[in-house]
Amino acid sequence: MTGSEVPPSFRLAYVPGVTPTKWVRIWNERLPDVPLNLVAVSAAEAFDVLRARGADAGFVRLPVDRTDLSAIPLYTETTVVVVPKDHLMAAVDEVSAEDLADEIVLHPLDDVLDWERPPGRPAIERPATTVDAVELVAAGVGVLVVPQSLARLHHRKDLTYRPVTGTPESRIALSWPEDATTDLVEQFIGIVRGRTVNSTRGRPPAPPQSKGKSKPAAKPTGKTSGKGAGKNPRSGSARSGSSGSGGPKGGKRGKPRRRP
């Protein structure tokens, strides 16, 4: 390798809330010679990073502009409402959007849910980020509706969350530039889709090992000569050339002799 050549590597972008640990582990097992570098990006800037080739692929939130980006939807997240632990909603297992009608529902500028109209009453001013909104919830200013992964990411001991129905859901996808589907991107697609290492579209399987020498034929278990070679398999007694009484050979009875 010359000094101008750069060893291969794979850059994977991911938005807040996504945990790529499982896929990174599989990558390292299958391609130990190709480093995988993680690139943390916000949901808003993820697509520009992919277009600028700042990453080879990335975990993003739908929708994706399919004009120049490819995407594979992976899973849909549960939407939850973040509330103080002493809030009335903390006493139930699930709430609906209608239950939020009298609440101040914070709507941060980096919100990732595709609202037609957020539920509840709006705050006087929209928080700049989800982190700021969580701080306001802890201060008792309002509640926050987010994907469950973000509630976990910004977890605080004085806050909890409950699933909420009747609200938009966020979907996670793997995306990459449409004109840059490299072999390494295909490898990562296979990992995300659960293909095995020997899949025809995954990493090529190792060549078969050369066959060893054939095993010699098994030796017969019975003996063809020596002591006890002529034993009768039924009775186990030794076979002789004549009957014990001096009769004819072969064990058959001969004709009776006539008296003179």
188 in a structural domain:
yes
Q: What is the pLDDT of residues 27-81, one digit of tens each?
A: 999 999 999 999 999 999 999 999 999 999 999 999 999 999 999 999 999 999 9
Q: Tell me: the pLDDT tens digits for 80-112? A: 999 999 999 999 999 999 999 999 999 999 999
Statement to judge: residues 46 and 94 lie in one domain: no
CATH number, domain of 186, equals 3.40.190.10
Q: At 209, list the tokens.
A: 């090992």
Residues 93, 110: contact at Cβ < 8 Å?
no
Look at residue 199 in the predicted model and tell me its pLDDT. 62
Domain region containing 155? 79-165
% helix, strand, coil for the chain, step of 5: 20, 20, 60
Domain annotation covers residue 138: yes
Q: Has residue 41 been placed in a domain?
A: yes
* Residue 248 belongs to some domain of the structure: no
Task: Answer whether residue 84 is part of any domain.
Answer: yes
Q: Global pTM?
A: 0.72
Contacts of residue 184, defined as CB under 8 A and 6 or more positions apart, other chains included, come to: 8, 10, 34, 56
CA contacts within 13 A on the Cβ side of 45: 11
Give tens-digit pLDDT for 127-143: 999 999 999 999 999 99
